[in-house]
Amino acid sequence: MKLYRTSRSAVAEHEGRCYPIEGRSFDSLVCDEDLFDALQKIVSGKPPLGDLDAADLQAPIGNQEVWAAGVTYFRSRSARIEESKGGGDFYDRVYSAERPELFFKSMPHKVIGPFGKVKIRSDASWSVPEPELALLISPRAEIVGYTIGNDMSSRDIEGLNPLYLPQAKVYDASCGLGPGVLVQKEPISRSTAIQMDIVRNGEVSFTGTTCLTELKRELQTLVDYLFRDHTFLHGCYLLTGTGIVPPDAFTLQAQDEVRISIDGIGTLINTVA
Ligand code: DO4
Ligand code: MG
């Protein structure tokens, strides 16, 4: 079962058919006692509409804040140790520590949806997309769905000093989400693959893959840390970190197309403004 957002309403997709969800906001769905059951009821009692209009897809978000976890894959740990040029062992320590790195990423209204334009900072010289599994979490700290996140990052700014992390990570159009949310009863399989392709002038200039088996932390543990002494009235999103980092010589350019695919969820496509 998938949950999408269009300009008119939320839409449930089941077995290739789409069902508009009338009279329910995205927030009320996220807060539902059982989102999967609620969507089941919607799709079983209604005639389907035609296909989803891809051009009308919005980011699948209501009033949820977006948070992110960091250094959850060995590849991310190694890349950041190199980028900070021996600045300290904090990346290595956080990779092995019990407490994960968690940071605020985006207000909902700043999130970029499918086919929207993500941005690189004007004062950055080294920028990359970070393809990440995103968890949709209810106010009761339950993972109710999965989508694709792009944690756009300025590596030169982050590498200068870890205290610059919010500037490297949080700016206009620095967070992509979508296209839809995978909603299922069972937890997402650890054998799920994540792939990113970056297309420049019609050619793939970078391609990389990883798998959730490479993610060091349990998903629910990340969520439990985020919810410690922290209330999310409408639930929230949590990006779970990147396991794909392009080589150091690579930096994003305007017009690059970033395609992130996760098994069972779909492909999030964004162009760099
Ligand atoms: O510690 C810096 C950010 C880490 C991050 O965003 C990631 O590992 O995905
Ligand atoms: Mg990240």
Task: Return the HEC string of 183-228.
Answer: CCCCCCCCCCEEEEEEEECCEEEEEEEEEHHHCCCCHHHHHHHHCC
Distance 44 CA to ligand 2 centre (A): 38
Which amino acid would we find at residue 93? R
What is residue 129's three-state secondary structure?
coil
Q: What is the pLDDT of residue 211?
A: 98
pLDDT in tens, 61-72: 999 999 999 999
pLDDT in tens, 76-100: 999 999 998 877 799 999 999 999 9
- Single out the residue of 158, 99, 98, 101 nearest to residue 126, CA to CA: 158
Nearest CA to ligand 1 atom 7: 70
pLDDT band at 102 (very low <50, low <70, confident <90, very high): very high
Q: What is the pLDDT of residue 134?
A: 99
What average pLDDT does the segment 105-112 reach?
A: 98
Q: What is the pLDDT of residue 54?
A: 87
Q: What is the pLDDT of residue 45?
A: 75
What average pLDDT does the segment 114-137 reach?
A: 98
Q: Could you give the residue range(s) of every CATH 3.90.850.10 domain in the chain?
A: 61-272
Residue 94 Cα: closest atom of ligand 1: 1
* pLDDT tops 80 at residue 265: yes
Substitution site in 101, 132, 156, 212 for ligand 1 pocket (most atoms within 8 Å of beta carbon) = 101
Q: Is 80 in the pocket of ligand 1 (CB under 6 A)?
A: yes
Tell me the HSE value of 192 on the side-chain side, using a 13 A CA sphere: 21
* Pair 143, 220: CB distance under 8 Å: yes
Residue 242 Cα: closest atom of ligand 1: 9
pLDDT in tens, 15-54: 999 999 999 999 999 999 999 999 999 999 778 877 888 8
Q: Is 241 in the pocket of ligand 1 (CB under 6 A)?
A: yes
Q: Return the CA Rg of the chain.
A: 18
Q: What is d(CA 104, CA 194) in angstroms, rounded to the nearest whole number?
A: 23
Q: What is the pLDDT of residue 18?
A: 93
What is residue 178's three-state secondary structure?
strand
Kind and range of the H or E run holding 158: helix 155-160
Q: Considering the domain 61-272 in this protein, what is its CATH number?
A: 3.90.850.10
pLDDT in tens, 173-206: 999 999 999 999 999 999 999 999 999 999 999 9
pLDDT in tens, 136-172: 999 999 999 999 999 999 999 999 999 999 999 999 9
* Ion ligand 2 — residues with CB < 5 Å: 130, 151, 242
Distance 3 CA to ligand 2 centre (A): 24
- Single out the residue of 75, 80, 78, 18 nearest to residue 49, CA to CA: 18
Q: Is 71 in the pocket of ligand 1 (CB under 6 A)?
A: yes
> Which residue(s) pair with 211 in the sheet?
193
Indicate the Cα dihedral angle 182, 245, 268, 252, nearest 10°.
160
Q: What is the pLDDT of residue 106?
A: 98
Ligand closest to the CA atom of residue 151: 2
Q: What is the pLDDT of residue 47?
A: 83
pLDDT in tens, 202-251: 999 999 999 999 999 999 999 999 999 999 999 999 999 999 999 999 99
